[in-house]
């Protein structure tokens, strides 16, 4: 279903499979706070576009939890979708891959009231020697962090580009 120019899945949240999947797409954020949920909105768009792919697991990570560590450790490829402070125009997105992702996540520690941070989850995977060798973060510059289930116009308009960035990563990794 398309709402206000962005993709919105009507399916329920999928849990991580026990079978090792090639690619884990992890959307994180609070979808009740407009652009804070940009990662979840992008995840839902990708889930609709790639519904026929059995080599991809889609996981709504919400506001993060230690329970996500297992899903990350079981994947060989990881794409994280999240709102990020990029000091750019609203809706702008950047891809941080491999060591660049690690540096961005490690250097941009924001205060969080969540149980765990993305940095914590990556550290757990690294310490257990299960950090996905191919990993990327697609950071999305928010415009509005306020009550509401739909993203701002700028973030909604960016969804096709963000999905394209994720698709290009998957294609490059599988080439």
Reported as a single tens digit per residue, the pLDDT across 69-103 is 999 999 999 999 999 999 999 999 999 999 999 99
3.40.1190.10, 3.40.50.1450, 3.40.50.620, 3.40.640.10: CATH of 2-7+20-108+117-173 = 3.40.50.1450
Predicted confidence at residue 7, as pLDDT, reads 54
Q: How confident is the model over 166-175, as pLDDT tens digits? A: 999 999 998 8
Q: What is the mean pLDDT of the chain?
A: 86
The rounded distance, in Å, linking the Cα atoms of 97 and 140 is 14
pLDDT (average), residues 139-161: 97
On whether the CB atoms of residues 14 and 52 are closer than 8 A, the answer is: no
Q: What is the pTM of this model?
A: 0.86
């Amino acid at each position: 279903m398309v709402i206000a120019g962005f993709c919105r899945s009507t399916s329920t949240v999928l849990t991580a499979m026990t079978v090792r999947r090639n690619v884990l797409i992890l959307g994180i954020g609070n979808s009740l706070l407009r652009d804070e949920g940009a990662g979840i909105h992008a995840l839902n768009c990708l889930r609709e576009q790639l519904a026929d792919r059995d080599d991809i697991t889609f996981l709504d990570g919400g506001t993060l939890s230690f329970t996500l560590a297992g899903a990350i450790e079981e994947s060989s490829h990881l794409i994280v979708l999240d709102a990020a402070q990029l000091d750019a125009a609203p809706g702008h997105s950047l891809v941080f891959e491999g060591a660049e992702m690690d540096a961005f996540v490690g250097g941009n520690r924001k205060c969080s009231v969540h149980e765990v941070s993305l940095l914590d989850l990556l550290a757990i995977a690294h310490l257990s020697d299960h950090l996905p060798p191919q990993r990327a973060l697609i950071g999305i510059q928010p415009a509005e962090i306020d009550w509401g289930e739909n993203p701002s116009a700028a973030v909604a308009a960016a969804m096709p580009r963000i999905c394209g960035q994720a698709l290009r990563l998957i294609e490059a990794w599988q080439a």
